[in-house]
């Protein structure tokens, strides 16, 4: 076995770093390789075909770096590309490798965060329009009443470091208000985009009442820990030197300047040309 076989973590841009932060805290011994497709972010408003094509390309790149397990730390890619990759591509591309997403682990536990049984989902247009959350939640908590709100401006504002501006507040308030106008009984809200923890405080500021804001990082980390325990055949392929490597399809200098905010500590990335 090659001694370096990191767990791959993928996002369209910086958002997946909020998940990687929690995963690396929960499972520090493994090696991790992050890939942000910053050159083509955001994915949120792109078609199914495009998100699938871009995501598959990035998954293949992570496989080439000897990742046996790849986490799509991106709701949009999880919603629009994961199933096709798992069912159509993996069997001939790499039958012993695995690609996992962030929607399933979140939907498996969301019923534990609500008392009113009315929940809200904030996400990109791609995630919301895919209906993936509705389908997955139905499997685990069919009693839940779900309202969704697409927030197409949020990722561009975050990626461009404008999320604390008055302009950002306008759009944050607008979508939070629209969600609660749809259903005032909501008492738990999924931050269904891995970028959103960065603006969690601003979202909270505009909530009409105290509500459980559910970020995915810890949930995904817990689920990965459990997955690795249940899949020793895959776990044994993951190398354990505590190494973290970062790749971006855009400029490493600008990636490093912004990544710290999302990851919580300094990051030095390399460019990956696709």
What residues line the site for ligand DGL (CB under 6 A)? 11-13, 15, 41-44, 74-76, 124, 127, 155, 193-195
Least separation in angstroms between residue 104's CB and ligand DGL is: 14
Give whichever of 44 and 217 is closer to ligand DGL, judged by the CB atom.
44
Least separation in angstroms between residue 240's CB and ligand DGL is: 27
Least separation in angstroms between residue 91's CB and ligand DGL is: 26
Query: Cβ(132)–Cβ(81) under 8 Å?
Result: no
Least separation in angstroms between residue 194's CB and ligand DGL is: 4
Select which of 58, 67, 193, 238 is catalytic.
Answer: 193
Select which of 58, 67, 74, 151 is catalytic.
Answer: 74
Least separation in angstroms between residue 236's CB and ligand DGL is: 30
Beta strands in the chain (DSSP E): 7-11, 32-36, 69-72, 98-100, 118-123, 145-150, 188-191, 212-214, 244-248, 269-271
For the question of residue 151 being annotated catalytic, the response is no
Give whichever of 127 and 147 is closer to ligand DGL, judged by the CB atom.
127
Q: Which candidate, 248, 249, 246, places its Cα nearest to that of 266?
A: 246
Residue 7 forms beta bridges with which residues?
Answer: 32, 69
Give whichever of 44 and 120 is closer to ligand DGL, judged by the CB atom.
44
Give whichever of 240 and 264 is closer to ligand DGL, judged by the CB atom.
264
| Beta strands across the sheet bearing 69-72 | 98-100, 69-72, 7-11, 32-36, 244-248, 269-271
What's the length of the chain?
274
Give whichever of 61 and 157 is closer to ligand DGL, judged by the CB atom.
157
For the question of residue 193 being annotated catalytic, the response is yes
Query: Cβ(35)–Cβ(255) under 8 Å?
Result: no
DSSP 181-249: HH-TT--EEEE-STTGGGGHHHHHHT-SS--EEE-SHHHHHHHHHHHHHH-HHHHTTS--S--EEEEES
Quickly count: other Cβ atoms within 10 Å of residue 180's Cβ: 20
Catalytic residues: 74, 193
């Amino acid at each position: 076995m090659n001694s370096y076989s990191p767990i791959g973590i993928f996002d369209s841009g910086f958002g997946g770093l909020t998940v990687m932060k929690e995963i690396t805290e929960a499972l520090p011994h493994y090696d991790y390789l992050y890939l942000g497709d910053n050159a083509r972010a955001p994915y949120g408003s792109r078609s199914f075909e495009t998100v699938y094509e871009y995501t598959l390309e990035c998954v293949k790149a992570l496989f080439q770096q000897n990742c046996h397990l790849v986490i799509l730390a991106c709701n949009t890619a999880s919603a629009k590309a994961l199933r096709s990759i798992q069912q159509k591509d993996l069997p001939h591309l790499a039958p012993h490798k695995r690609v996992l997403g962030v929607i399933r682990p979140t939907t498996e536990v969301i019923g534990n965060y609500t008392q009113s049984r009315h929940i809200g989902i904030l996400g990109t247009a791609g995630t919301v329009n895919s209906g993936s959350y509705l389908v997955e939640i139905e499997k685990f908590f069919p009693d839940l009443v779900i309202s969704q709100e697409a927030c197409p401006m949020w990722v561009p504002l975050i990626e461009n470091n404008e999320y604390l501006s008055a302009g950002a507040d306008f759009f944050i308030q607008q979508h939070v208000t629209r969600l609660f106008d749809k259903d005032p009984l909501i008492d738990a809200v999924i931050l269904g985009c891995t970028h959103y923890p960065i603006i969690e405080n601003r979202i909270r500021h505009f909530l009409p009442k105290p509500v459980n804001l559910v970020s995915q990082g810890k949930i995904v980390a817990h689920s990965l820990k459990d997955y690795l325990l249940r899949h020793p055949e895959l776990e044994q392929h993951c190398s354990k030197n505590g190494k973290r490597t970062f790749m971006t399809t855009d400029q490493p200098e600008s990636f490093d300047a912004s990544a710290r905010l999302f990851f919580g500590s300094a990051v030095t990335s390399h460019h990956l040309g696709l």
